[in-house]
């Protein structure tokens, strides 16, 4: 191997570390030809856990490293949101059995095909751009907390000694969850999670409500918050929040919430027990 190629290899291995993946697209953009990558694989320096993506031989294939590779390495503005973001932040007790293994991703850009072909215990579920009209930020390592906060996002570490990931804050994750509710079972789950949301920040809630396009998500979120008498709710600024008109039948045969005009299952208390 020439000194130049040896230098490129060392640079690549340092970039990869123990948990990062890089795509064929990234490699080409950084001057690694297909033939050179094939040579690294044949020589035992790289392995390909799925077609079109590579990692250091002996590296750890973990979902945290995969998401970090997408966000910061590949520049794909996908964030961890909804149920999985809430589980990361300590609310996994309220999730249905098995849901903690489904990583919910949101963003304007679809994830690459190789994401669904990795041999991981967890599954990735792409939920589209979600219910907000906020313009996505680039998830570079240098993006500021302030920039992320303005979108209801933040850096989170899934475990000690792991890289930080861009995730929805609890306020945004709850609205993402409410947007996906389609039946009574999901209302029960959203209600159980809302019961635990005692420390949401009212100004952030108000900002996200103003930028949320889903009437259903906003009404359900507010109705459940009122149902649990959260102290922060009275401080949420609702100026400019469009709650739509008319009644919304979320579940057949449910009870109509008098304030937010959305039907909720009549047996919510029984499911909290």
Q: Give the pLDDT confidence of 15-54 residue by residue, as tens digits.
A: 899 999 999 999 999 999 999 999 999 999 999 999 999 9
Look at residue 143 in the predicted model and tell me its pLDDT: 86
248 in Cβ contact with 262 (< 8 Å)? yes
Looking at every residue in the chain, the average pLDDT score rounds to 91
Residue 96: pLDDT over 70:
no
Going from N- to C-terminal start, the domains of the chain cover 1-56, 63-171, 175-270
Look at residue 153 in the predicted model and tell me its pLDDT: 96
DSSP state string for 168-224: E-HHHHHHHHHHT--SHHHHHHHHHHHHT-TT--HHHHHHHHHHB--HHHHHHHHHH
Summarised one tens digit per residue, pLDDT across range 126-179 is 999 999 999 878 888 788 899 999 999 999 987 777 788 999 999 999 999 999
Query: Which tokens hold the place of 43?
Result: 């020589």
Summarised one tens digit per residue, pLDDT across range 228-255 is 999 999 999 999 999 999 998 898 888 9
Query: Which tokens hold the place of 90?
Result: 């300590």
The fold adopted by the segment(s) 1-56 is: Arc Repressor Mutant, subunit A (1.10.10)
Query: Which tokens hold the place of 237?
Result: 């600024």
Query: pTM for the complete prediction?
Result: 0.91
* Alpha-carbon span 37 to 43, nearest angstrom: 10
């Amino acid at each position: 191997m020439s000194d130049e190629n040896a230098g490129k290899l060392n640079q690549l291995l340092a970039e990869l570390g123990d948990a990062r993946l890089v795509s064929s697209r990234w490699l080409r953009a950084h001057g690694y030809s297909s033939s050179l990558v094939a040579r690294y694989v044949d020589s035992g320096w790289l392995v390909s856990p799925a077609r079109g993506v590579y990692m250091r031989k002996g590296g750890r294939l973990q979902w945290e490293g995969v998401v970090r590779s997408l966000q910061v390495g590949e520049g794909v503005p996908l964030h961890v949101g909804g149920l999985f973001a809430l589980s990361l932040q300590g609310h996994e007790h309220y999730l249905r059995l098995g849901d903690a293994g489904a990583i919910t991703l949101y963003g304007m850009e679809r994830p690459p095909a190789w994401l669904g072909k990795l041999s991981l215990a967890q599954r990735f579920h792409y939920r589209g751009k979600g219910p907000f009209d906020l313009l996505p930020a680039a998830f570079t390592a240098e993006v500021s907390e302030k920039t992320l906060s303005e979108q209801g996002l933040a850096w989170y570490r899934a475990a000690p000694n792991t890289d930080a990931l861009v995730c929805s804050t609890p306020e945004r994750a709850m609205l993402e969850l409410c947007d996906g509710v389609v039946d009574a079972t999901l209302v029960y789950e959203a209600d159980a999670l809302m019961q635990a949301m005692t420390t949401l920040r009212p100004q952030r809630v108000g900002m996200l409500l103003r930028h949320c396009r889903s009437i259903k998500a906003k009404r359900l979120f507010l109705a459940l918050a009122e149902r649990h008498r959260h102290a922060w709710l009275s401080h949420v600024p609702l100026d400019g929040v469009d709650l739509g008109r008319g009644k919304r039948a979320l579940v057949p045969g449910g009870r109509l919430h008098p304030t937010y005009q959305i039907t909720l299952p009549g047996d919510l208390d029984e499911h909290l027990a």
